[in-house]
Amino acid sequence: MPEDVKVIVIGDSSVGKSSLLKRLAGEDFVEVQESTVAVEYYHRQWKVRRKDINLQFWDTAGQERFRNLIPRYYANSHVAIAIFDISNKASFTSLEFWIQELKRYAPSDCKIILIGNKADLKEKRQVSPKDKLPWTSESKHPKIIEISAKTLKKPNSILDSIASEGLAV
Ligand code: GDP
Ligand code: MG
């Protein structure tokens, strides 16, 4: 039986959460719409350290515009992908809010992967890969992974990172 790993995305509207998830889910992209809660999720089978994993990607279905998501979205999550747009400084600053929400509602051992999206928009860059989240101590600061959901061809290394983080829980 593959092990289920629940992956959620957090970050401001328009940073590219849905675009990235669709890339990550790739050919296994299966959208499920629940009627009671406005979330969508996708599946992808992935193998890491010879273990079969069923990655369940949960998307916010646009609810992030209300600034807080329903606690059920965060419940039982193993990995949270916190996303900002490198061409939008405000989306980086907002991560403080999103990570506070995560700490409040997600299990305490939920892992965070920090992604700077829209790396193809280098000429509009407002956030440097060396910028730090001000409230996070140096030693605990997650590494910023810069990517472009638009030009990303093979998401394999990101899927490896997500699956390994998920297994470590
Ligand atoms: P969400 O609201 O966070 O789910 O963001 P979406 O995935 O809907 O993306 C918002 C807009 O940004 C869309 O027009 C996307 O095509 C665009 N977008 C997403 N990722 C990238 C990227 O890596 N580069 C560029 N240039 N545009 C992107
Ligand atoms: Mg979206």
Q: What would the pLDDT profile of 73-115 be if each residue is shown by its tens digit?
A: 999 999 999 999 999 999 999 999 999 999 999 999 999 999 9
pLDDT at position 154 is 84
Helix (H, G, I), strand (E, B) or coil at 7: strand
Q: Is the pLDDT of residue 149 over 80?
A: yes
What does the block give as tokens for 160?
A: 């490896």
Cα angle 130-102-62, degrees, rounded to a multiple of 5: 90
Check residue 34 and give its pLDDT.
Answer: 53
Asked whether residue 35 carries a pLDDT value surpassing 50, the answer given is no
Q: What is the pLDDT of residue 28?
A: 58
H or E element at residue 113 = strand 111-117
Q: What is the pLDDT of residue 69?
A: 72
Instruction: Compute the mean pLDDT over every residue in the chain, rounded to the nearest whole number.
Output: 87
Phi, psi angle pair for 85, to nearest 5°? -110, 120
The residue whose CA has the least distance to atom 10 of ligand 1 is: 14
Residue 38 scores a pLDDT above 80? no
pLDDT band, residue 167 (cuts 50/70/90) = confident
Average pLDDT, stretch 8-36? 79
Lining residues, ligand 1, CB within 6 Å: 13-19, 117-118, 120-121, 148-150
CA of 51 to the centre of ligand 1 (A): 32
In this structure, the number of other CB atoms found within 10 A of the CB of residue 57 comes to: 26
Output 28 or 46, whichever has higher pLDDT.
Answer: 46
Alpha helices of the chain — where are they, by DSSP H? 17-25, 71-74, 89-93, 95-105, 156-168
Q: Which two tokens stand for residue 88?
A: 């939008």
- To the nearest 10 degrees (0 to 180), the angle between helices 17-25 and 156-168 is 90
- What pTM was estimated for this model as a whole? 0.91
- Which residue owns the Cα nearest ligand 1 atom 9? 16
Distance 14 CA to ligand 1 centre (A): 6
Q: Say which residue the tokens 């992030």 belong to.
A: 64
